[in-house]
Amino acid sequence: MISVVILGAGNVATHLFKAFEKADNISVNQWYNRHLKSIASYRNKVAITDNLDTLQIADMYILAVSDDAVAELSAQLPFENRLVLHTSGSVNVHDLDKKNRRGVLYPLQTFSKTADIDFSNVPICIETLHKPDYHIIKQLAVSIGSPAKKINSDQRRALHLAAVFVNNFTNQLYRIGHEITEAHGAEFDLLKPLILETANKIQTVSPYMAQTGPAKRGDKKTIKKHLNQLDKKQHQEIYKLLTAAIQETHASTWLSNRVSDNNSTKK
Amino acid sequence: MISVVILGAGNVATHLFKAFEKADNISVNQWYNRHLKSIASYRNKVAITDNLDTLQIADMYILAVSDDAVAELSAQLPFENRLVLHTSGSVNVHDLDKKNRRGVLYPLQTFSKTADIDFSNVPICIETLHKPDYHIIKQLAVSIGSPAKKINSDQRRALHLAAVFVNNFTNQLYRIGHEITEAHGAEFDLLKPLILETANKIQTVSPYMAQTGPAKRGDKKTIKKHLNQLDKKQHQEIYKLLTAAIQETHASTWLSNRVSDNNSTKK
């Protein structure tokens, strides 16, 4: 049995609690939050507290709090030499107070308040300063059905940054798609299967191989048409910049297409 | 029974042929391509030809050819007053030669050569210049299991442009995610569940409501860290531009978060 204390009451804390509760070999000994109100609805399922001095002994303490709160909260813990983890993609593991054994349990997924999470779709990236601690964290991850992966600080920082591109920035492109369709009385819903297929494709094909469209083809006529269609200057800038990025990525393909375009025009 | 002649040998033509072949009430009378070689492997399943003068009578002629070839091919058709459709998102319906009844059958999806297509995930956007033609095209779409939607030229142009954002540009963000992870020895595969979840979320929640991350939170510290991490100038520019776009979209949220940040700092 792995015993855990959860600290924090945000989405990550709540989804972890629910997953731990379902697992056979994990026991959540206690759930701490500075405002009891946020976790009060769980009081029949787990011991809750807002007092750090009452924290019980456990195999690990998971600080699922905002990035800015990690250092201070870890310094306030009234014990030493225990395993203390944060869950952030961007906070340095050394920001945790060094009086305890430090590590990171970074669940690489987007968590919403409402939607249920299937943890088999949540890779758990594990970093530990004290090597032997890795195994119990991995066991914890496996117990909730998550793929576990040992990574270092540099890899975690890279994953967190890349996640902003593939999640937040991608979502903003969906938003722009929404704005463009709405502005012309077209249904955004018609794009949803395409959005899903674009994400699906990448599960088995590299983004490089999956690319299509006017930028990759070097189709100047369509690119020009599209730029004229865009009312918003910001959308034009994003179109230009991402088109340039695609063309740089596929420079060789693009040049050979231009050559074959010229050939077919001559014909 | 709806009779069809397909013209062209690209991905769209091929996937349409396969879907038509499976449908009970669609008969592909003939498949034309200027190079017979490209469709020769289908010769046991359908009459193939490279000669426009041999085209048989059919309820509709579907020109699934490159954008640039639509006008010329439609002008070369040796008949009049028949239903002629192109399949492009960006070509004007009036580019089809006016000697025939003109329309568009625009399948809003990304087609790869290899992967099989489930047409229930391919909305067919229908535009016709001669109103009564709509019904047979809709019947065709329904027969292959596709949702059918009547749209006008302006809506189709908007959808095509929006598709570039949510498909080609999104795929380039995946590519950048790939570059960032590879550069730091991290596994791009760890991001795949997040990519899928980001696309899944949007099926039921608006992109506006689905947004999360440092840009939306107005988390200047993380944004600065990320910009320092990016080696490539182009990646920095994309980061800045999309961060600005998110902040503009969520300006009110962002301001109110800043206010509450200030409050909590005071505490």
- Do A174 and B109 make contact, defined as CB atoms within 8 angstroms? no
**Confidence at residue A256, expressed as pLDDT on a 0 to 100 scale:** 55
Residue A32 has pLDDT above 60, yes or no: yes
Interface test with B, best of A70, A106, A167 (most B CBs within 10 A): A167
Tokens matching residue B160:
């095509």
**Confidence at residue B182, expressed as pLDDT on a 0 to 100 scale:** 97
B90 and B190 share a domain? no
A179 and A85 share a domain? no
Domain that includes residue B47, residue range: 2-151
A97 and A57 share a domain? yes
Instruction: List the B83-86 sheet strands across, edge first.
Output: B48-49, B26-32, B2-7, B60-63, B83-86, B101-107, B124-128, B148-150
Tens-digit pLDDT profile for residues A80-105: 999 999 999 999 999 999 999 999 99
**Confidence at residue B267, expressed as pLDDT on a 0 to 100 scale:** 32
A199 and A217 share a domain? yes
A238 and A168 share a domain? yes
A103 and A171 share a domain? no
A25 and A95 share a domain? yes
**Domain termination site, one of B151, B181, B198:** B151
Confidence of residue A116 (pLDDT cuts 50, 70, 90): confident
**Confidence at residue A261, expressed as pLDDT on a 0 to 100 scale:** 45
Distance CA B144, CA B120 (A): 8
B103 and B181 share a domain? no
Pick the more confident residue, B254 or A177: A177
The arithmetic mean of pLDDT across residues A189-207, rounded, is 97
Distance CA B46, CA B196 (A): 38
Partner-chain residue, chosen from A164, A199, A212, that has the shortest CB–CB distance to B199:
A199
Q: Which residue of B has its CA nearest to A250?
A: B172
Pairing type for strands A101-107 and A124-128 reads antiparallel
Partner-chain residue, chosen from B67, B158, B186, that has the shortest CB–CB distance to A159:
B186
CA distance B83 to chain A (A): 25
- Do A192 and B170 make contact, defined as CB atoms within 8 angstroms? no
A25 and A145 share a domain? yes
Residue ranges for chain B with pLDDT beneath 50: 259-267
ipTM attached to this prediction: 0.92
**Confidence at residue B253, expressed as pLDDT on a 0 to 100 scale:** 58
User: CATH code at A243?
Assistant: 1.10.1040.20
Residue A267 has pLDDT above 90, yes or no: no
B179 and B260 share a domain? yes
Interface test with B, best of A11, A151, A164 (most B CBs within 10 A): A164
**Domain termination site, one of A105, A120, A151:** A151
**Confidence at residue B115, expressed as pLDDT on a 0 to 100 scale:** 74
- Do B161 and A208 make contact, defined as CB atoms within 8 angstroms? no
Q: Give the 3-state secondary structure of residue B140.
A: helix
Question: In 3D, which of A201, A75, A101 has the Cα closest to residue B195?
Answer: A201
A110 and A75 share a domain? yes
The arithmetic mean of pLDDT across residues A145-151, rounded, is 97
Tens-digit pLDDT profile for residues A201-244: 999 999 999 999 999 999 999 999 999 999 999 999 999 999 99
Partner-chain residue, chosen from A67, A158, A241, that has the shortest CB–CB distance to B238:
A241
Residue A262 has pLDDT above 90, yes or no: no
The arithmetic mean of pLDDT across residues A240-256, rounded, is 85
Question: In 3D, which of B5, B26, B7, B22 has the Cα closest to residue B136?
Answer: B26
Number of independent structural domains in chain B: 2
Question: In 3D, which of A215, A221, A240, A220 has the Cα closest to residue A230?
Answer: A240
A143 and A187 share a domain? no
Average pLDDT, chain A: 93
**Chain A (191-210) residues lying within 8 Å, Cβ to Cβ, of chain B:** 191-203, 205-208, 210
Partner-chain residue, chosen from A156, A183, A242, that has the shortest CB–CB distance to B238:
A242
Residue A70 has pLDDT above 70, yes or no: yes
**Domain termination site, one of B99, B127, B151:** B151
**Confidence at residue A264, expressed as pLDDT on a 0 to 100 scale:** 40
With beta carbons less than 8 A apart as the criterion, state whether B83 and B61 touch: yes
Confidence of residue A114 (pLDDT cuts 50, 70, 90): confident
- Do B196 and A193 make contact, defined as CB atoms within 8 angstroms? no
**Confidence at residue B265, expressed as pLDDT on a 0 to 100 scale:** 37
User: CATH code at A135?
Assistant: 3.40.50.720
